[in-house]
Amino acid sequence: MLYHLYETQRALTAPFAEFAAAAGKLYEHPLSPFAHSPLSQRISAGFDLMHRLAKEYEKPEFGITSATVDGVVIAVQEQVAVTKPFCRLLRFKRFTDEPRALTKMKTQPTVLVVAPLSGHHSTLLRDTVTSLLHDHKVFITDWTDARMVPVEEGPFHLADYVEYVQDFIRHIGPNVHVISVCQPTVPVLGAVSLLASGGEATPRTMTMMGGPIDARRSPTSVNDLAVNKSHAWFEANVIYRVPTNYPGAGRAVYPGFLQHTGFVAMNPDRHVSSHYDYFLDLIRGDEDSAEAHRKFYDEYNAVLDMPAEYYLDTIKTVFQDFALVNGTWKVNGHLVRPQDITTTALLTVEGQLDDISGAGQTRAAHELCSGIPRSRQFHYDVVGAGHYGIFSGRRWREKVYPELRSFISRHDRVALRKAAG
């Protein structure tokens, strides 16, 4: 019922959002007589803010069309490498006719970025992909909004997520370097562990950034909620059926609008302050700051529905049973044994001010991966960075990415030398 009420509210506010957008332009356009009134800028800014608060936010595009390799600007084309019911594997194919850059590109490492399935779209990692494209061949998981997946496609569990990651690694090949950001650190570690246990080739490196490998350490408000509420409570209070106006009508999901409410509730003062600053920027004519606000919230406010089975599995496995660190997690009957990983190098990254994955939660992967020699295990703490700062923004570009690039390059060269005999 709540989902239907939300859809009704969304339909009712849509005309108001359009009205606010039109009214804002009426008080802004230089040919409009209203634009020359003393309060025109304030009125226009007010309507603009109302429009952004009331509008619906669609899934953004990556919009990456170029990158720089060895000082040469090259073209980038987004391609779909693999399509599955709940995910597409995207490849950012790079093109150039410049011989030096082309030679360089052929020798660069291949990375698979496993994006979170936790409310936001994979485009949240746009900055991550943009940086990686300068020095790597890049693939990324693009998870599908569950409300767009017909119920005939069946359920999607945490075990299916693990299998998807395994299939993508097999598709790209064992020379791949896997990067997981936030929530997927657990299923990625599960996927690579099962590959190792089964005697299959594992990626050259694993990089795990800000994820709940051991959610018992430095618990955050996210962890506390999962521990303090029962599995039955989550099933009764946050799971709803998709309304009939979507292809996935009838599918049980954790709706995106509920997740967004939770995101905002974690830092309400910060969001109120940000919107007020945006209003002031419009009045002052500071278009650069206003545009930065728009870009952030166009991404932040665009959310997707998660399959109910996957969400409930994650709550129980990761945040209540701590099955991975307790050694009790089974995927389709197979025990997940991180200690079986021996040839993959490991890098963990944590943000000093991360309020989603607390200090030590990601670093715990090193204790689990006891089969990896200590000489191939590394950890990096990002001073001054919150959760988003470890994969997006200035600290990502200036601090984290150089460390990640060096780690991948170093172990890619080692693997090449071993393969050459």
Kindly write down the DSSP assignment for every residue of 300-330, as one continuous string.
Answer: HT-B-PEEHHHHHHHIIIIIIS-HHHHT--E
- Whether residue 421 is predicted with pLDDT greater than 60 in this model: the reply is no
What H or E segment, with its residue span, contains residue 349? strand 345-351
Confidence grade of residue 24 (pLDDT, cut at 50, 70, 90): confident
For the chain, what is the mean pLDDT?
92
Distance CA 172, CA 203 (A): 10
Q: Which tens digit of pLDDT belongs to each residue from 366-388?
A: 999 999 999 999 999 999 999 98
| Percentage of residues in the chain having pLDDT higher than 70 | 98
Token pair of 141, please?
């998981």
Could you tell me the pLDDT band of residue 2, with boundaries at 50, 70 and 90?
confident
Residues of the chain with CATH 3.40.50.1820: 66-234+305-420
* 181-237 tens-digit pLDDT: 999 999 999 999 999 999 999 999 999 999 999 999 998 888 888 888 888 999 999
Distance CA 28, CA 287 (A): 13
197/332 Cα distance (integer angstroms): 14
pLDDT band at 416 (very low <50, low <70, confident <90, very high): low
Long-range contacts of 42-47 (CB under 8 A, 24+ apart): 42/283, 44/282, 45/279, 45/282, 45/283, 46/279, 47/20, 47/21, 47/23
Superfamily of domain 66-234+305-420: Alpha/Beta hydrolase fold, catalytic domain (3.40.50.1820)
Kindly report which listed range (133-137, 218-222, 244-248, 253-257) carries the lowest average pLDDT score: 218-222
Q: Are 54 and 68 in contact (CB under 8 A)?
A: no
C-alpha 17: how far from chain center: 28
